[in-house]
Homo-oligomer: A and B are copies of this chain.
Amino acid sequence: MEEAMMTGTCPVSSLVHKQILLGHGSGGKLTHELIEKLFRPALLPPGEEALNDATVFTVGASRLCLTTDSFVVDPLFFPGGDIGKLAVHGTINDLAVTGARPMVLSAAFILEEGLAMHELERIVSSMKAACEEAGVAIITGDTKVVNRGKCDKVFITTAGVGVIDHPGVCIAANNAQVGDVVIINGDIAAHGMAIMSARGEFEFETPILSDTAPLHTLVKAVLDSGASVHCMRDLTRGGLASALNELAAASAVGIEIEEEQISMQEEVKGACEILGLEPLHVANEGKLIAIVAPQDAQRVLQAMQSNQYGRQASCIGHVVAERPGLVTMKTPIGGQRIIPMLAGEQLPRIC
């Protein structure tokens, strides 16, 4: 084993940075470099598509999905949510956007010595409420405690297993087709700005609430409509821009979006301006995009709008043959600009 360890096949030399940077956790360029150059070659089975939110495996005739996410959000509590709610929703949503019905979750806690018990109790109560609302159960868990100063209060890692009930479902990052329509289920950037306001970065009269929400019933409505969904992605770290870039790159297509079709709450827009942040790069926790065949766009829109988390759903763009791998945005005055994936890290510990 020691030998195997020392002669592992990781492409050691191809990673540019010799140390981990905050940007390696951004969900943007550096995260992808780490996945593509280290984790994927070492760990994933050949041919496995690393960029999907959850990975499909089969048991008998059933197609199941497994996903995991760690949550390190700071602060633990923020307007509209907390780390526990986020951990439940995040895993539900990763399963949902793969077309799976969430079945069971696990939750592993890393706690800092000295954490106030009432804070942990509040987090666990919130997880309970989130599970009950979503109709899923946490069936197993783990607790580790590290010495004071060796973590930051609480980190939670959830994993989840879901089952793909709809027989024809084939949602994958590399499945976008020229001519497809890009649909989003609502306004963007609220989660990131809720965290920034909880950090005291700015103050508005109307508080900005995180959009954290479980999206599995919305996805079920979309799949029940009979639409053929080619790609689906929840818009977390790295925001709308990073998700679109991932899909454009994986599918080797261009994606054109229209600025006028992308909505934001006024306070969110104002906060992004104050902080100098690009809203397209800001994290969401209750938003997804679906990329669907044009003849299915209308029924997907209607299905989303019939769900409480999709009332404001709208078409925001199209998949094109031009500029494969790139995302471009048309501005209201007729201009067009390239929307890159997030580089570096603008908002550490947003989830």
Chain A 37-75 against B: per-residue CB contact (8 Å), 1 yes, 0 no?
011001111001000101101011110101111111000
| A 97-131 contacts with B by CB, 8 A | 103-104, 106-118, 120-122, 124-131
Chain A residues packing against B (C-beta within 8 Å): 1, 4-5, 8-10, 12, 15, 17-26, 31, 34-35, 38-39, 42-45, 48, 52, 54-55, 57, 59-62, 64, 66-72, 81-82, 85, 103-104, 106-118, 120-122, 124-133, 137-147, 149-152, 155, 157, 159, 161, 163, 345, 348-349
* A5 x B143 contact (CB < 8 A): no
Whether the Cβ atoms of A68 and B20 lie closer than 8 Å is no
CB distance from A147 to the nearest CB of B (A): 6
User: Complex formed: what's the CA distance from A70 to B349 in Å?
Assistant: 19
Asked whether, in the complex, the Cβ of B121 is within 8 Å of the Cβ of A10, the reply is yes
Name the distance in Å between A138's Cβ and chain B's nearest Cβ: 5
Q: How many copies does the complex hold?
A: 2
- Within the complex, the shortest CB–CB distance from A96 to chain B, in Å, comes to 15
Cα A166 to Cα B158 in complex, Å, equals 28
The distance in angstroms between the C-alpha atoms of A45 and B326, with both chains bound, is: 46
Determine the main DSSP class of A at the interface with B. mixed
A15 contact from B17, B25, B117, B150, Cβ within 8 A: B117
With a cutoff of 8 Å between Cβ atoms, the chain B residues found around residue A62 in the complex are 59-60, 62
CA distance A85 to B8 in the complex (A): 13
**CB pairs A–B below 8 angstroms (6 shown):** A4-B125, A8-B126, A45-B137, A66-B140, A72-B151, A159-B159
Query: Are B103 and A138 within 8 A (Cβ)?
Result: no
